């Protein structure tokens, strides 16, 4: 499957992301979550359930995890530079995640973000949606790993 590889990360470089998308970037519309936390970060999320995501943590001490709302998912941010990198949800040994498209480097050509309101969903609906639209092939690795 042809992959479109993108890279990004937080501002200081402690947390890096590598994405493989199955379609051209122009085919993805980042989702601007309207919850109070995401609005404060200006986050707009991008994911591909058939793609792949690697989160490389170069400085383990800098990886911050924050739960809010109904606390099912973890927001991943850099404690050093303050950038919100993405959101992850773990269940049954599987890790699902979505990336804040604002941390992707270069100009991949994403369309403008569209507003979404997952806070209106119940907990079960949220989890079902994450499993349907987030990356399902996710690795999160610490110091010394490739990438």
* Sole binder of Zn ion in the list 80, 110, 133, 139 (CB under 5 A): 80
> Which residue number, 9 or 25, has a Cβ lying nearer to Zn ion?
9
The strand pairing partners of 89, in sequence order, are 96
Residue 10 binding Zn ion, by CB under 5 A: yes
Strands 114-116 and 4-9: unpaired
Distances (CA, A) of 68 to 5, 35, 65, 99: 30, 10, 10, 17
* Sole binder of Zn ion in the list 3, 4, 7, 12 (CB under 5 A): 12
| Total of chain residues touching Zn ion, rule CB under 5 A | 6
* Sole binder of Zn ion in the list 78, 88, 97, 113 (CB under 5 A): 78
Residue 95 binding Zn ion, by CB under 5 A: no
> Which residue number, 31 or 58, has a Cβ lying nearer to Zn ion?
58
């Amino acid at each position: 499957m042809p992959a479109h590889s993108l890279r990004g990360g937080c501002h200081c470089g402690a947390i890096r992301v590598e994405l493989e998308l199955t379609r051209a970037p122009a085919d993805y519309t980042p989702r601007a979550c309207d919850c109070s936390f995401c609005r404060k970060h200006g986050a707009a999320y991008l994911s591909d359930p058939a793609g792949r995501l690697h989160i490389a943590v170069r400085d383990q001490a800098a990886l911050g995890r924050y739960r809010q709302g109904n606390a099912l998912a973890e927001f991943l941010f850099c404690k050093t530079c303050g950038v919100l990198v993405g959101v992850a949800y773990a269940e049954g040994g599987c890790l699902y995640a979505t990336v804040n498209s604002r941390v992707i480097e270069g100009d991949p050509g994403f369309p403008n973000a569209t507003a979404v309101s997952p806070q209106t969903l119940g907990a079960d609906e949220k989890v079902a949606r994450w499993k349907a639209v987030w990356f399902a092939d996710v690795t999160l690795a610490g110091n010394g790993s490739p990438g």
